């Protein structure tokens, strides 16, 4: 993470809806806690008190939200979350395990074809004062397979889950493009593999990162 000298480790999980991020975040959290680490498990949108209010608007508002307004809402959630949750946690040496971050904005808001992906990224970086995670795990999954998983759940779809499948194809390629552009930050995993195998790969990478930095 840029901008200060944190002692903690910041891990984000990214991927399409239904790719298994939550399962992997929970497994990673459990493993880190067992090894005696302080873990802050959080998410965007909605990882702070203000963020909960914003999450309600972006995911559950009935009717359209203008694309620029939507991008600004995610960025506002991010700004408050990074300032009040992520930075303080890293400063005290915690491991932050976070469901979604700015890569989601670039992939989803960029995939609407209205906004330029580079502008969305710049907006988010401004909001977060330049903060980038140490590691981003991308759980890559074909949207058709993801849809089958979501259909098997009883939960109703939120606004973005209900988008058409070509939208989700664009989201997937955007994530893969981001990972290709920053190979050091990203760990890309095939989300059709067994969850236990995926957890093991994530643990190996996180273990390396924790071992590489003295004091972590
Ligand atoms: P999330 O709660 O992670 O849902 P899921 O469990 O289905 O992954 O994310 C909610 C939705 O918000 C998801 O469809 C992606 C979207 N999103 C954006 O469009 N832009 C963003 O910047 C973020 C963080 C999420």
How many whole angstroms from its chain centre is CA 80? 16
Q: What is the pLDDT of residue 153?
A: 78
Which CA distances in Å does 88 have to 10, 40, 106? 12, 10, 25
Range of the domain at 28: 9-212
Residue 17 placed within a domain: yes
How far does Cα 30 stand from its chain's mean position? 18
Residue at 86 is within a domain: yes
> Do the beta carbons of residue 127 and residue 75 sit within 8 Å?
yes
Ligand 1: residue of 13, 16, 17 to mutate (most ligand atoms within 8 A of CB) is: 17
Cα 211 to averaged position of ligand 1 atoms, centre (Å)? 31
Largest CA distance in the chain: 50
Number of structural domains the chain divides into: 1
| Run of H or E residues at 81 | helix 67-81
Instruction: Let me know if residue 1 belongs to a domain.
Output: no
Phi, psi values for residue 3, rounded to 5°:
95, -25
Does residue 2 sit within a domain? no
- Phi/psi at 85 (nearest 5 deg)? -115, -55
CA distances from 171 to 40, 41, 84, 165 (A): 27, 24, 28, 10
Regarding the beta carbon of 17 and ligand 1, being less than 6 Å apart is answered: yes
In sequence order, what E strands does the chain have? Answer: 9-15, 39-43, 95-99, 135-140, 186-190
Q: Is position 184 within any domain?
A: yes
Q: Domain of 133: which CATH number?
A: 3.40.50.300
The CA–CA distances, whole Å, from 189 to 30, 32, 118, 144, 161 equal 20, 20, 24, 17, 21
C-beta of 168 in contact with ligand 1 (< 6 A):
no
Atom of ligand 1 nearest to the CA of 75: 22
Please report, in tens digits, the pLDDT of each residue of the chain (216 residues total).
554 444 799 999 999 988 999 999 999 999 999 999 999 999 999 999 999 999 999 999 999 999 999 999 999 999 999 999 999 999 999 999 999 999 999 999 999 888 999 999 999 999 999 999 999 999 999 998 887 887 777 777 776 666 678 899 999 999 999 999 999 999 999 999 999 999 999 999 999 999 876 455
- Between the CA of 99 and the centroid of ligand 1 the distance, in Å, is 9
């Amino acid at each position: 993470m840029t901008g200060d000298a944190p002692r903690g480790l910041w891990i984000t999980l990214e991927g399409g809806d239904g790719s298994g991020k939550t399962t992997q975040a929970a497994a990673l959290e459990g493993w880190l806690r067992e090894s005696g680490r302080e873990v802050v498990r959080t998410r965007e949108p909605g990882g702070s008190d203000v963020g909960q209010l914003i999450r309600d608007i972006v995911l559950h508002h009935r009717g359209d939200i203008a694309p620029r307004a939507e991008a600004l809402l995610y960025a506002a959630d991010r700004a408050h979350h990074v300032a009040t949750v992520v930075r303080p946690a890293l400063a005290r040496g915690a491991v932050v395990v976070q469901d979604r971050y700015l890569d989601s904005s670039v992939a989803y808001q960029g995939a609407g074809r209205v906004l330029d992906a580079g502008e969305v990224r710049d907006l988010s970086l401004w909001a977060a004062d330049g903060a980038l995670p140490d590691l981003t795990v991308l759980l890559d999954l074909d949207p058709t397979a993801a849809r089958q998983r979501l259909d098997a759940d009883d939960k109703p779809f939120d606004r973005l889950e209900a988008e058409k499948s070509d939208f989700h194809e664009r989201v997937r390629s955007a994530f893969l493009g981001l990972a290709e552009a920053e190979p050091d930050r990203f760990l890309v995993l095939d989300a059709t593999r067994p969850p236990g195998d995926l957890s093991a790969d994530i643990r190996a990478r996180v273990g390396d990162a924790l071992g590489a930095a003295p004091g972590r």
